[in-house]
Structure 1
């Protein structure tokens, strides 16, 4: 078997690349190579669409599905990846034949991995950003929302990867990924709120009641809605996990009385938390780790998530197998009392733009009076690498006259803390999922407008943790918006070359996290 090459996530081996027979994520070299082949086929499809001057709906769906399938912790099933490759090849051939042109060849990703390190770095930023954006486009499409400019950009950017270019040629495209991702996140934000209502502040218990239950994890709110509908009246409770936590804030989901609370903490703790769990777990998006034998028979997947040997729920969305497993296992015999990593037994969520901007006058007055001295956005992806306790310690150390906004699964490091209130608002406010970075951006823009200044002039600091490709596209969006002085940790991406890092430092003053004391002193300085 060939060795793999993968350095797209934060946990990559030695902070350089996974290059052996398996990745740190548990992906085998065979699957990693299949995913590179799929990516090369997607680039060939995009190049064919560009040459033909046409982009079919099938091609768009394949580009989004295929890119999403290659996000870390999504698809570990080589047969599934091979099937996607076949479909991509078929569509490429069909477009070429219909337009009377020669189909573009698959792009061998080995050429990218062996390219000049600065070109490789910039093209990796583009590719990994596209993978993250594809996940958001996928969820929006599930809710019936698409955007022609977003769809066209997948073709434009993928086709550009086969072209020779300099750093000056590629840097604008890197930032354009951020620009288009802003549109994509806005599209998903609108789709979510139009379908499920505007999020509202909600207290969510971490306790689990006695009786049958299902744990649902990931990002797809529509999957949760379907599961709630199919379990209603069957004596089965539903608990969110990981990035599904913010679902509790949406009115159209809250109305289901058997949506009870949140189980567990962040995704990387699942092997411990799901071990001996008397309930099935439904994975709707990335965050799947190879399951242990002790609970593998209780893992169900859907959408682009697949793992060999687990039951996959197809496009018919019939969750009967999950429901039957929940009834079979029976749940806990008595109520279980769980806590977050800091000992809290509940968490708050629902502080998206609709809530925060609804009290914008109160917030602005608190800043003007000096009651609020600073805002911190502390969020992003969580992970297992040592050093992530930095984010817990940072939040604990923030002064009482500051507000902490958070989002994505990085919040599990500290979201059960009680930081008290300020101006009638909690000092710690959960904006939502990673894609709700759009909400955080809108809050920042609104505050800047209220004070008649730019976002960079606000008393606002961003301290971000990253793990996978959705964090990459969000970072590129922040850079596109010209936001500076971002602290990024716990390590910098392995695919960012020294020259590209120098550019980011010079242009955007992006910097790695250091110590809590030093970073707080600098940011509050």
Structure 2
């Protein structure tokens, strides 16, 4: 099968190019705002892109019947979990393996047909004629690669653009990409055993809405905001899953330099995989290092309790080719942010969960023995590096535990303003803005940060205001719920709305989880967000104008000008 895939892939690449504009790094030219070529900037080839579109199409078919089956009290937990997992695999820099997408497409058709049969039986049992559905509900994937790829026209994200125009297609895309982000957050909760029927129901309703190829702009905007509210539910669920499983994060000092000994590097976002790896390496003389978005994991008491969790290695995802090549041990990638593995480390990198790359060993059963064996086979670090640390763990409990001091500092004028500099990092030009911004924030102001964008400034010295650190690392992008709760608690303490706080949001976006968080903030009525380093390509000028008018959403300019505008607005 893999040999056939490679042959068909080569043939198909010669026939047509892919189109994708779901992430910030997408190619932007005069001819279009998307990667329209044989291979995207992320490394995703045209075949994988088409298969991902087909998988999403198949998932919409599941949702069409699952939504109606729920009307008869019928739910399918296997299908619920599959929808989250499968959508997660289509996020930017997650899975690049065509063979796994083919298997998931077939699985989507199987689950849809099972739910369809249960729905139709329940309808007949109640004397009701089953609803006749079309589109994804009736699509049947063919068995061969060429035939499968020939079916992509109706599944493409730009399908129907000639009939409805770019604005409608862009709104559909915003909803879909937001849902992909929700799926990622909900999947992380799901693997820890936290689920919500309300979340599954709303997820299916919105997918069913998209399956009908909606054309009403106002209804599409409403659904986009509904995605934001759904994401808030997913973030709340994930927060409960993480804190119940590993304790509430606490401020902790994290070593950023190597320790002598055998080594495993774990990257991505998944705390369950990290906990399992730590347990399986206990007492084996292997040091474990976090990377990327797993840096905040050191704040969780139950994870920090493992003495061989010795620190963090490297920075944000876009530097992994160099950093992974220099790391002298095994590497485990647990979720999104994978780039094409370089030959220098391809034989010692492993994937787990939704992640995948052709030819890279995948751990599907939670048994990390191959990773451990690889770590023991490689030399590890030969000596300790000079000790350097950063502090993490300022999630909602830690910050709200000193809320009275924060409020007093604001009332006395010791703290003038809060700048939330959060979101993704990336390789595209313009992201030095966030370094400049953090460094230029006045000394009487506090920087809140979350996401991997923090690596651009989290080793800088910020000092403290009355014992309150001027840089508060809230956590991963997954911890956006903490930021929302902190802002809400401060607003309550000052008896005002969040928009009235001395708080400015400068958000860097990259992929679909960031889209979901942005929609959450907009659904909560947050205004004046500055977004960068560039605005989403799927938002047309007309859509951007509408969002600007309704939410005062605006692009970043310069660090100096944006700080001045923020302080002037708050004055």
Q: In which range does the TM-score fall when normalised by the shorter chain? A: over 0.9
> What is the distance in 2 between the residues matched to 1:151 and 1:40?
18
> What is the distance in 2 between the residues matched to 1:89 and 1:55?
17
1:429 is paired with a residue whose SS is strand
Runs of 4 or more consecutive aligned structure 1 residues displaced over 6 Å after TM superposition: none
Residue-by-residue CA offset, 1:392-413 (whole Å, 9 max, x unaligned)? 0000000000000000101111
> What is the distance in 2 between the residues matched to 1:193 and 1:91?
32
CA apart distance, 1:516:
1.1
Name the structure 1 match of 2:85.
65
> What is the distance in 2 between the residues matched to 1:29 and 1:284?
24
Residue-by-residue CA offset, 1:240-279 (whole Å, 9 max, x unaligned)? 0000001100000111000000000000000111114211
Q: Give the one of 36, 45, 53 matched to 2:53.
A: 36
Q: Give the one of 326, 337, 340 matched to 1:287.
A: 337
User: Which one has the largest radius of gyration?
Assistant: 2
Name the structure 2 match of 1:341.
none
Q: Give the one of 343, 349, 354 matched to 2:392.
A: 349
* Correspondence 1:503 to 2:546: yes
> What is the distance in 2 between the residues matched to 1:347 and 1:366?
24
Name the structure 1 match of 2:203.
154
> What is the distance in 2 between the residues matched to 1:17 and 1:427?
39
Name the structure 2 match of 1:88.
108
Aligned residues: 518
* Correspondence 1:121 to 2:170: yes
Name the structure 1 match of 2:127.
none
State how 1:358-437 maps to structure 2 within 5 Å.
Answer: 358-437=401-480
State whether residues 63 and 154 of structure 1, in contact with CA within 8 Å, keep that contact through their aligned partners in structure 2. no
Name the structure 2 match of 1:10.
24
Name the structure 1 match of 2:358.
308
TM-score for the superposition, normalised by structure 1: 0.97
> What is the distance in 1 between the residues matched to 2:261 and 2:395?
33
CA apart distance, 1:66:
1.2
CA apart distance, 1:165:
2.7
> What is the distance in 1 between the residues matched to 2:202 and 2:386?
48
> What is the distance in 1 between the residues matched to 2:448 and 2:455?
13
Q: 1:408 to 1:112 in 2, by over 3 A?
A: farther
Computed over aligned residues only, the root mean square deviation of the Cα atoms, in angstroms, reads: 1.3
Q: In structure 2, list runs of 5 or more residues that go unmatched.
A: 1-11, 121-129, 140-153
Name the structure 2 match of 1:220.
270
> What is the distance in 1 between the residues matched to 2:179 and 2:61?
15
Name the structure 2 match of 1:230.
280
> What is the distance in 2 between the residues matched to 1:326 and 1:511?
47
State whether residues 437 and 559 of structure 2, in contact with CA within 8 Å, keep that contact through their aligned partners in structure 1. yes
CA apart distance, 1:330:
2.2
* Correspondence 1:108 to 2:155: yes
State whether residues 206 and 337 of structure 1, in contact with CA within 8 Å, keep that contact through their aligned partners in structure 2. no
2:208 is paired with a residue whose SS is helix
> What is the distance in 2 between the residues matched to 1:273 and 1:347?
19
CA apart distance, 1:113:
5.6
> What is the distance in 1 between the residues matched to 2:119 and 2:188?
31
> What is the distance in 2 between the residues matched to 1:333 and 1:113?
58
Residue-by-residue CA offset, 1:306-360 (whole Å, 9 max, x unaligned)? 111111001x21100000000000202112348xxxxxx3211100010000000
> What is the distance in 1 between the residues matched to 2:160 and 2:267?
34
